[in-house]
Structure 1
Amino acid sequence: MAELIEPAVKGTLNVLRSCAKVSSVKRVVITSSMGAVVYSGKPLTPDVLVYETWFSDPAFCEESKLWYMLSKTLAEKAAWEFSKENGIDMVAMHPGWVSGPLLQPTINPSLEPFLKIVKGAESIPLMYYIWVDVRDVANAHILAFENPSASGRYCLVGRVLQFSEFVKLMRELFPNINLPEICRDDHPFASPYMVSRERAKSLGINFTPVEVTLKDTFESLRASNFFNI
């Protein structure tokens, strides 16, 4: 727990303290996570629409041992408090499960489930992912920096998609890849729900279709020799 929480909180505050010392810094855009938004303890059902006004509950995260979500929640809370006390114009971005083409030579944790599927996984996890393209996330940060009217929090989720739906799309995009047919268990990890995209769209974000993200992601993985199918 401490190895996640302390670096998240202290690292965020260290950056903000440095910014507070430089008068030419007019705005700070921080990268948070949907993990700091959706874990409030409220049921996430198909009729639920998550807004930027939602905040994850630290007590619920701790009780559920959701340490990554707790670290993001506490780091954002500390950032807002520090920014208010020191007159910093801060904007927070909350991306979901980030996917897309690689820039670095190593694979990041968010893409590991994809790689397992194409490299011989025997079953499909019954989970829902809140997908967003990495290029949309990067663009959102730039727009928040450049647009004077940008403020507060922005949820960055292109689509909520079950992993089995992802596999179905993969079959359509790459019919030569041998993908699993069997779901891992009888009950999904979480129910489907919706995330509001209105504030993100007001900033100028046009979310990349998940089909494009998946195609570009796997072509990038293949080009980097993570698999050779």
Structure 2
Amino acid sequence: MAEKGKVCVTGAGGYVASWLVKLLLSKGYVVHGTIRNLGDKKYAHLKTLDKASENLKLFKADLLDYNSLRAAIEGCIGVFHVACPVPYEHMLSVALGTSMDLEEEVEKMEVEIIEPAVKGTQNVLQACLETTVKRVVFVSSDGAVLMNPNWPRDHVMDEACWSDKEYCSETKNWYCLAKTAAESKALEYAKETKLEVVTVCPSLVIGPMLQSTTNASSLVLIKVFTDGLDKLENIFRYLVDVRDVADALLLTYENPKADGRYICSSHTIRPRDLVEKLKKMYPHYNYPKKFSEVENEQKLSSEKLQKLGWSYRPLEQTLIDSVQSYQDAGVINNATLR
């Protein structure tokens, strides 16, 4: 079992990573956090976390710069690899089922998304193997699970289901391709080297924000509130609270029984039902006007993670806390939320 001590969190200033850092500090861990620019104000929230002044050290690091990662990981017994480039517009389009121009150049996607995800993961794992790291928790995505057209329609999608890389490429789902390639690389590396690696695959992450900038997954929910979209696909969406993701990451790090990959998803809901729920809570809003029905009855299962001891918040609580966070950050007009 990975003991308490010094751990590293890559991409520490991001949405999920910030909550993870907060949780780790509250549990008595000393945290090394990697960020891109030590002087960037968007990371200022990290320094305000409880116990940050004495137990959080930030390192400037780049996923493609092995030496910078090695410096941050040196002396740590655990690593949470959270950092990954996120293509905002593409992620919003996939999550909302809206149309956009997906004719990006493959070369551009290779450089901006796929290479940092895959090569960056390889660099992190190599640094872990060559130092004192005992366990690595890699944050993947349900995007590494869901994109599988050959999975039997009457079967629940569990950890045995992997997204088809060729299908991801054909449909230009670059984020899903990057996550699938990086996660599979991580587990292959673990098998080859005997390094302890556990992967966690969160679904669409919502909940309150700690950082000052709005992240892609939060924007999905904000757009449902404010954009007055003409139409949304009424297809199953899988949601999880960011705080529950942080709990899952710590659980899979600390629990000696944790092994392989874990799907991390709390709620399965169709957009029409989500909007109806939101309207009851916040009626004066610019919600989507119509929904197009799509056949999609497959479910995503977090049974393996729950058997490990994971639990999650009610969806209503997540929505309330999300809205409060958006209000506090000024990204939603308070006057419309009466």
Q: Does 2:273 correspond to 1:165?
A: yes
C-alpha contact (below 8 Å) 1:160/1:192 kept by paired residues: no
Equivalent pairs counted in the alignment come to: 224
Structure 1 CA distance, aligned partners of 2:176 and 2:169?
A: 9
- Of all paired residues, the percent bearing the same amino acid is 38
Structure 1 CA distance, aligned partners of 2:214 and 2:127?
A: 31
Shift of 1:122: 3.8
Shift of 1:44: 7.3
Aligned to 1:153: 261
Structure 1 CA distance, aligned partners of 2:187 and 2:229?
A: 44
Amino acid at match of 1:106: T
Q: Does 2:115 correspond to 1:6?
A: yes
Gap regions ≥5 residues in structure 2:
1-108
**1:13-24 maps to which residues of 2 (within 5 A)?**
13-23=122-132
Instruction: Report the TM-score, using the length of structure 2 for normalisation.
Output: 0.63
Structure 2 CA distance, aligned partners of 1:60 and 1:122?
A: 28
C-alpha contact (below 8 Å) 1:38/1:55 kept by paired residues: yes
Structure 2 CA distance, aligned partners of 1:44 and 1:158?
A: 22
Gap regions ≥5 residues in structure 1:
none
SS in 1 for 2:262: strand
Structure 2 CA distance, aligned partners of 1:159 and 1:75?
A: 25
Q: Does 2:303 correspond to 1:225?
A: no
Structure 2 CA distance, aligned partners of 1:68 and 1:44?
A: 23
Match of 1:115 among 207, 222, 226: 222
Shift of 1:108: 0.6
Match of 2:202 among 95, 98, 119: 95
Structure 2 CA distance, aligned partners of 1:124 and 1:169?
A: 17
Deviates more, 1:118-127 or 1:194-203: 118-127
Amino acid at match of 1:73: T
C-alpha contact (below 8 Å) 1:160/1:193 kept by paired residues: no
SS in 1 for 2:201: strand
Shift of 1:193: 2.0
Q: Does 2:174 correspond to 1:67?
A: yes
Q: Does 2:186 correspond to 1:79?
A: yes
Amino acid at match of 1:11: G
SS in 2 for 1:50: coil
RMSD: 1.7
Amino acid at match of 2:170: E
Q: Does 2:303 correspond to 1:198?
A: yes
Amino acid at match of 1:176: H
Shift of 1:68: 0.9
Of structures 1 and 2, the one scoring higher in RCO (CA 8 A, sep 6+) is 1
Structure 2 CA distance, aligned partners of 1:156 and 1:169?
A: 23
C-alpha contact (below 8 Å) 1:156/1:200 kept by paired residues: yes
SS in 1 for 2:115: helix
Q: Which runs of 4+ in 1 moved over 4 A?
A: none
Aligned to 2:147: 39
C-alpha contact (below 8 Å) 2:228/2:289 kept by paired residues: no
